[in-house]
Structure 1
Amino acid sequence: MRTVIFDLDGTLADTSGDLIAAANSCFRGLGLGDLLNVEHDAGTALRGGRAMLTLGFSRVEGFDQDEVDRQYPFLLNAYAEDINSHTVLYPGAMEAVEQLKSLGYAVGIATNKPEGLAETLMQSLGVRNEFASLVGADTLPVRKPDPEHHFEAVRRAGGDPLQSLLVGDTATDRDTSRNAGVPSVLVTFGPGPDDVRALEPEATIDHFDELIGVVSKLIG
């Protein structure tokens, strides 16, 4: 079965507000105040917790990678406690998923967010049951950009890895698809659309309305 696998953060949903809030709770706990803001740091937020902590600590003196590692569990706890105050699905995302399913495609999720957090978020958004699979950062011994992460999401969705593609928003997604030997479609409506185009994926989309046409051209 032809299969479309979606990244989560920055692709299906803008999670940057809740992620930054969790990171700032760590900084406040150290007496540093809020070191990140959504307007300027959303792109870093969508690259993960350690990237946010690293950026925040780069703005003050006296903190190094050891502190990033110490604070990371606290960030995950803070995020789990308040995972959906600001998160929104991107316009047209679920309509595109429904269209794909109606046309006979399997759909799933491959994310470098820990599986438990991804499950909790998708349940809270009320859309988890629309996806046949969800593979997180800790589901397997490997994660994106290892191709097995993508392949497992495809298999769990009941699809054929040779007839699949990955929809994402970062170099990690592009590299995952190349390592897997499948096409990538990168969205431009998240932070840094020019950077996305520079990654030279097989296709980009400016809105989920364009996805069906692109998918049909790439995998039939």
Structure 2
Amino acid sequence: MRTVVFDLDGTLADTSGDLIAAANVCFRDMGYGDVLSVEKDAGVALRGGRRMLTEGLSRLEVLDEATVTKYYPILLEAYGGAIATHTVIYDGAMEAVETLKSRGYGVGICTNKPEALAGQLLNALGVREAFGALVGADTLPVRKPDPLPLQETARRLNGDPAQTLLVGDSDTDRNTARAAGVPSVLVTFGPSGEDMAALEPEALLHDYAALPQVVTALIGQNTN
């Protein structure tokens, strides 16, 4: 079976609002107030919790790795407590997922969000059952850009890891696909969309309506 694997944050859904809110819980606890904003820092948010803490503390000129380590679990707890307040699925994403499934492709998610939080978010959005596999940052001993999580996602879909495609929104996703020797499709409608062309993926995606055609062009039709 050929498979299509999606990143989550910034690819299937814009999660930046809830991530930034969780980071600001930490900064307020430190006594600094809200340091990050959705308008300026959505791209930072989609790089994950540690990156947000690092960016905020650097901006305040008080960066200390011990503080990042201390507050990371606090950030995760805050995020888990309000995980889908502002998050929205990108237009057309789930329609594309259902079209791919109807054409016989296995469809899963490979994310650097902790697996439990990823599952919680997908359930809150009402779309968990649409995906046949979910591999998170802590599912395996390694995370993206190591190719193993992508390959494991394909295997859990009963697919061939050599006949998969990764849809993502970052250099991490591009490098993951490259390391696995498979194509990547990078979306241009996320916060860092203007930077995607420079990563030279096999395809850029401006609208989810085009994804099924792109998938067929890059990895062929499913014949199983």
In the comparison of the two structures, how many residue pairs are matched? 220
Paired with 1:195 and 1:131, the residues of 2 have a C-alpha distance of 28
How far residue 63 of structure 1 moved from its aligned partner, in angstroms, is: 3.4
How far residue 69 of structure 1 moved from its aligned partner, in angstroms, is: 1.1
How far residue 160 of structure 1 moved from its aligned partner, in angstroms, is: 1.0
What's the CA shift string for 1:189-210, capped at 9, x where partnerless? 0012221110000000101011
Paired with 2:135 and 2:58, the residues of 1 have a C-alpha distance of 31
What's the CA shift string for 1:147-180, capped at 9, x where partnerless? 1110000011111111110000000000000000
Same amino acid, percent of matched pairs? 66
Paired residue type of 2:203: A
Paired residue type of 1:51: R
1:95 equivalent in structure 2:
95
Gaps of 5+ in 2: none
Paired with 1:127 and 1:24, the residues of 2 have a C-alpha distance of 27
Pairwise CA RMSD of aligned residues?
0.7
2:40 equivalent in structure 1:
40
2:213 equivalent in structure 1:
213
1:67 pairs with 2:67: yes
1:10 equivalent in structure 2:
10
Q: Could you say what secondary structure the match of 1:175 adopts? A: helix
Structure 2-normalised TM-score?
A: 0.97
Paired residue type of 2:27: F
Paired with 1:175 and 1:111, the residues of 2 have a C-alpha distance of 14
1:137 equivalent in structure 2:
137
Q: Could you say what secondary structure the match of 2:28 adopts? A: helix
Paired with 1:29 and 1:193, the residues of 2 have a C-alpha distance of 32
Contact kept? 2:22, 2:79, Cα under 8 Å: yes
Paired residue type of 1:202: E
Paired with 2:108 and 2:51, the residues of 1 have a C-alpha distance of 25
Contact kept? 2:54, 2:63, Cα under 8 Å: no
Q: Could you say what secondary structure the match of 1:186 adopts? A: strand
1:51 equivalent in structure 2:
51
Paired with 1:211 and 1:83, the residues of 2 have a C-alpha distance of 27
Q: How does 1:143-158 map to 2 (within 5 A)?
A: 143-158=143-158
Q: How does 1:52-201 map to 2 (within 5 A)?
A: 52-201=52-201
Paired with 1:77 and 1:150, the residues of 2 have a C-alpha distance of 26
Paired with 1:62 and 1:133, the residues of 2 have a C-alpha distance of 40
Structure 1-normalised TM-score?
A: 0.99
Once the two structures are overlaid, the 10-residue window that deviates more, 190-199 or 96-105, is 190-199
Paired residue type of 1:63: L
Task: Return closer, same or farther for 1:61/1:162 CA change in 2, 3 Å cut-off.
Answer: closer
Runs of 4+ in 1 over 2 A off after TM superposition: none
How far residue 72 of structure 1 moved from its aligned partner, in angstroms, is: 0.5
Gaps of 5+ in 1: none
